[in-house]
Chains A and B, each alone.
Chain A
Amino acid sequence: MPILFWLLVWECAALCAGHRSLSTAWTAWRQTGDPSGLLTCLWEGQAFILPAPPRVAQELLELVGTADFWRTAATSLCRVFAGAAAGVGLGTVLAALTAVSRWARLLFAPAVKVVRAAPVASFIILVLLWADRNWVPAIIAALMVLPVVWGNVVQGVDSTDAQLLELSRAYGFPRRRTLTLVYVPSVLPYFAAACRTSLGLAWKAGVAAEVLCLPKLAIGTQVSNAKTYLETPALFAWTLTVLFLSFALEGVLGRLLGRLERGKGGKDHAGDP
């Protein structure tokens, strides 16, 4: 239902854009006196400003039929996923270090703040100077995900129940058992929330990096081409592709994380006495 609503909004907006195109085309016809160009002008004018859903669907269907589309989408997916996974892994390791060492916290906290606040475009251009253009989107995705995961995991560790930790100490639980019985289940909801946020962030940063770096096979390169050749329907079609891939990945991740949370005892176990 909400999807239908927004499609309708899109269609209406496209119709409005169409009216503007109509007046532009009408003026052009009156000035040039060429009636054949009117329809083409109207169709292309509307598609240029805001293409209607059927025009985008047509573009997307045409793209899906080509082998290049699948290769491009798969390559971008791999880049973004690899970057996000690296960011999650590294963020977790650094957060673990932060939890055990005050020095690590002192060192990492300002660095993470800088990475979080600095414009992503600056990082993209800087990394482009150091690394192969094919790697830049993955590195940027990792760099954007890392502070989110680090922050959330550190917050999770900090908010671990001090009474449960004291009990673990008093009852002589070995460190490993304290880790699995207290820390991991406490941090898991924070970690899961970070992973869910990270995925969208990784796509945004990854595709932005592709637009600036223009690797041979990349959704971002296609988006950049759409900009260069004023192919707005193609821009929409590729954006929709990113959305589909992002939602699909989010769905798979959501299921995995949900299973993990249930396994460690999460909200599903709560109930009234």
Chain B
Amino acid sequence: MLEIRELTVSYGEKLVLDRFSLTVPAEGVTALAGPSGCGKTTLLRTLTGLERPSSGAFTGLEPSEAVLLFQENRLFPWRTAEQHITDVLPRPDRETARRWLAAAGLEGEEGTYPAALSGGMARRLALVRALVLAEVRRGWVLLDEPFAGVDPARTESLMEAVYGLGLPVLLCAHEAHTVALATRRVDLDGPPLRVIAEPRA
């Protein structure tokens, strides 16, 4: 169980999380649904230790074991699709890389560099890289807008891969079809971030 208690985070004068509290079961996929800019990204960044809260705490999630898929793709322009996957593996394993690339519909793109990938393909590559790392770390998986620019059919097959990991997932999204694929949803609003509807299936 992930328990967030009275978490406060601000960027200068701007209060993004103001004594924010939430409890989420450590199983399945929890969708955090809310408008852009309401503070979802800051919440995920705080849970992975990238933002320091001025007060409050959370339990049930170890930041060093959690994996965050950033809102931006953050791909290396000088690494191929396959290298992006092998880079996060403890030992270079091309078989694993190819298997994951195929799961993301990127078969045949092993030697392609990010500049030659379409927006959707680049997003899928960033997502599978995070999923591969999550498979290694076995902690919480935090996905920030994972299916931006990805078509609904591919979103469904990728969600199967996400469920296949068997790890607890927090997923930020605002598209209805993505939220519908989650185990439960929490409706949020902000900033500062606040819960407008508790977790429900």
Using CB atoms and an 8 Å cutoff, list the residues of chain A in contact with chain B.
163-164, 166-167, 170-173, 177, 181-182, 185, 264-266, 269-273
A272 and B122 alpha carbons, distance in the complex (Å): 13
Give min CB distance, B133 to chain A, whole Å: 6
CB nearest to A165 among chain B residues: B74
A181 and B88 alpha carbons, distance in the complex (Å): 12
CB-contact partner of B117 in A170, A173, A273, under 8 A: A273
Contacts of A271 in B (CB 8 A): 113, 115-116
| A177, B87: Cβ atoms closer than 8 Å | yes
| A163, B70: Cβ atoms closer than 8 Å | yes
Using CB atoms and an 8 Å cutoff, list the residues of chain B in contact with chain A.
48, 50, 64, 67-68, 70, 72, 74, 76-79, 87-88, 113, 115-119, 121, 133
Contacts of A270 in B (CB 8 A): 77, 113, 115-116
Contacts of A185 in B (CB 8 A): 76-78
A-B contact pairs, 23 of them (CB 8 A): A163-B70, A163-B74, A164-B76, A166-B74, A170-B48, A171-B88, A171-B133, A172-B64, A177-B87, A181-B76, A181-B79, A181-B87, A182-B76, A185-B78, A265-B76, A265-B78, A265-B113, A269-B77, A269-B78, A269-B116, A270-B115, A273-B117, A273-B121
Give min CB distance, A135 to chain B, whole Å: 39
CB nearest to B130 among chain A residues: A171
Beyond A170-B50, A181-B87, is A272–B116 a contact (Cβ under 8 Å)?
A: yes
Query: Number of A-B pairs whose CB atoms are under 8 Å?
Result: 51
Contacts of B67 in A (CB 8 A): 171
A264 and B76 alpha carbons, distance in the complex (Å): 11
CB nearest to B63 among chain A residues: A170
Contacts of B68 in A (CB 8 A): 170
A269 and B80 alpha carbons, distance in the complex (Å): 9
CB nearest to B116 among chain A residues: A271
CB nearest to B126 among chain A residues: A167
Contacts of A166 in B (CB 8 A): 50, 74
CB nearest to A161 among chain B residues: B74
| B79, A273: Cβ atoms closer than 8 Å | no
- A-B pairs with lowest CB-CB distance, top 8: A265-B78, A269-B113, A273-B118, A271-B116, A270-B115, A185-B78, A167-B74, A163-B74
Contacts of B133 in A (CB 8 A): 171
Contacts of B88 in A (CB 8 A): 171
Contacts of B50 in A (CB 8 A): 166, 170
A173 and B90 alpha carbons, distance in the complex (Å): 10
A271 and B87 alpha carbons, distance in the complex (Å): 23
| A265, B70: Cβ atoms closer than 8 Å | no
CB nearest to A185 among chain B residues: B78
Give min CB distance, A195 to chain B, whole Å: 19
CB nearest to A188 among chain B residues: B78
Contacts of B64 in A (CB 8 A): 172
